[in-house]
Structure 1
Amino acid sequence: MEEGSLPRMDGDSNGETLVSYYRSILYEMVDDPSTDSIVSWSENGKSFVVGDEVEFRKALLPSWGLGHLGFSQSEKCEYSCPYFMRGQPDLKPSQDNLRKIETDNKGLDSSSLSCYKKMCRLAKKDLPPSLAIRRQPLFIRDVYEMVDDPSTDSVVSWSENGKSFIVWKESEFLGDVLPSRLPFDYKDMTSLTTWFHAIGYSKVEESEHWEYTADYLVRGQPPHP
């Protein structure tokens, strides 16, 4: 992967997923007081300041990635964007934000998810103890509610042990159930699995079905809002 390349940011549901993932892990780090020497909120809470750029890059992503995700740099190491503010962890980019990100990213590499997956690995790999945060997978509450709905058990349901879920009918799952619950639009399970892996879900390889598991995803234990 060449530096400066990013996966497709096309303003559709998958582009929104990408922005949401980066924003989620960035917010968690900025909001963690134990990492204030590396990155912290500005005084007004509408931007964040990088105090140790070397450690910040190791833990999260290079500064070029922030620009491609809609952040502007107001000072040497201070960044802001309309959907990133202290005290609002669930704030999401508007469609105008996503369209601007799409425009700003025209011409970047869109051939694969290699950069996306690398950034996900960078967010979790070889971090100093102060940065080793156990993160919930993205959309964990939405996935839980989708799997826990008894009306769609013939299409997707909990596994017997309640620590994973199984897709029983691929076409109905991809065409009806999934898009009604999550901002995903996929035509095949292989592509969906790639994105699931990138945002914190694992395929149960020994299963003969499309079966997935994730931290915090347990039957009878709905995630907190």
Structure 2
Amino acid sequence: MELSIAKKFLLLAQHPEKARMLISGVHIQYGLAGALLLQMSLEDKIEVSGEDILTVKRGANFNDPFLEEVAQMIQRSKKPRKMRYWIQKVGPKALKWRHQFYDQMAQERLIRVEKKKFLGLIPYTLTYLVNSQIRNKMIQALKSDVFRKKDIIPENMAVLGLIEACKMHNVLSKEKSQLESIKKDLKQLVKESPISATVDQTIRQVQAAIISTIVATTVATNVATSSG
């Protein structure tokens, strides 16, 4: 089964046993945004200038509706924008789109989706891993890539980049000694990757967007608490 980078990211982020994700909504939001832009890059449909300006290549066509909408957002912009701007702009949309990704993944029998309502009013979604074999194989392949440090296919490098950006290292291993090695090796791999120009920029901007959002949320919470 050929999975997009976004679906691979969500599959890795899914808790293997419980009805929840392993990472926060903020990480999912910007991780998905990064996944979509990385997919566009791997398909050679966007380019990033030396000043981090992101543009859609002339004549680029998209079969994926999510990628098409991101491309239209970029093309409709009144002026050239940097990668960071688009990560932050696409993030909130990606958070909404995740439910459509969940539905597609349920049809592909990767996960099971349960839609419920809290107090009969507030809707929420539970997701359960169905196909652990595909997820486990993916983890083993990515882990092997990190240790081998060479001949990594671009798709895997992009996914590893998202693992680095969203601090999902413990998906690859829970052994403390091995985990430290993975963190160190993965950071170096991302910098030396053949597609590092886009991967490194995307990772940096995903991390920046996550950090700035967490800081803003913390400040807002502290202000609300002190005002009360």
Global fold match (TM > 0.5): no
- Structure ranking higher in helix proportion: 2
TM range (shorter): 0.3 to 0.5
TM-score (norm 1): 0.34
TM-score (norm 2): 0.34
Higher relative contact order (CA 8 A, sep 6+): 2
